[in-house]
Amino acid sequence: MMATQKVLVTGAAGFIGSHLAEACVERGYRVTAFVHYNSANSWGWLEGSPLKSEMEIVAGDVRDYDSVSAALHGADTVFHLAALIGIPYSYASPLAYVRTNVEGTYNILQAARMLETANVVVTSTSEVYGTAQSVPISETHPLSAQSPYAATKIGADQLALSYARSYGLPVKIARPFNTYGPRQSARAVIPTVITQILSGAERVQLGNLQPTRDLTFVADTAAGFLAIAASASLNGEVTHIGMSAEISVGDLARLIAQLLEADVEVEEDDRRVRPPASEVERLVCDNRKILERTSWRPEFDLASGLARTIDWLRSNLDRYKPHLYNV
């Protein structure tokens, strides 16, 4: 078991990062939450967290080595989640993704190396695989970037693994498949569908309805990060977090409509469809490694996770703009 006392979570103001920071507090760790510096001094999703008073919240920029190094000082473990993640915007500004996702990860790795941090967990994504060439997708599946976002995440992952091999840095790659739940941006399909229906739309507009995804509730994803961090046997390796189940975007939208008892039509919006060669058609996780090498077991199936997500979005609908396409 990892002997952790103090944890740094980068990207702690975001969707998964805020849940993970809270989970670390609940485990009894001393948590430094690294959030993106901004003029409003906003802590993102941590603003409303009942546990924020139990964290040290530090503003900085993952692209700035000095602020990264200062935040990491004294930490036993770093969970590096800070990233640009919106795929559509990566088509518009690939360089922004290189600077944040690749250079930001370099700053974490180099600072951890200099400070001799005992445990470094870098966040990957199932998008690095592109459309599945074999299913379920194992950790040895070939990497194939079908978007600038995916390319930068491959670069960050390979840089992290190179630090493990070159310098003996205790790096682990946590590779979640699609995560959903409270606080997720409307750039993602589940909050997009739910908020459109809750706002009274009779037609739900989405991108391509055919691709399949493997969906994990955010509390289970956060637990997966903690389980991976706790296993020294996973140093220098990639480990998936996923459910080993898939559902198409169209079927997912119809399931959500059924749970909401809504009679809606689901239609494709051309603005939301990826370029043909960039669409990842199928993602389904092989989760045997995390099940065999850690104590992680998911607590939520899709129906129960969606129910919790619907309840939260119903109470927070005013935070969203369902009539807009979020890039």
Neighbours of 63 (CB within 10 A): 17
Residue 149 annotated as catalytic: yes
Residue 138 and residue 118: Cα distance in Å, rounded? 27
Enter the tokens of residue 95. 């360089």
Q: Which of 29, 106, 129, 149 is catalytic?
A: 149
Residue 321 and residue 231: Cα distance in Å, rounded? 41
- Alpha helices (H) in 29-175, listed in sequence order: 65-72, 87-92, 94-97, 104-115, 148-167
Contacts for 31 with CB less than 8 Å, ≥ 6 apart: 6, 7, 8, 9, 21, 24, 25, 54, 55, 56
- Asked whether 222 and 20 are in contact (CB, 8 A), the reply is yes
Contacts for 116 with CB less than 8 Å, ≥ 6 apart: none
- Asked whether 233 and 168 are in contact (CB, 8 A), the reply is no
Closest CA to 29 of 1, 5, 55, 52: 5
Closest CA to 3 of 21, 23, 25, 29: 29
As annotated, the active-site residues are 149
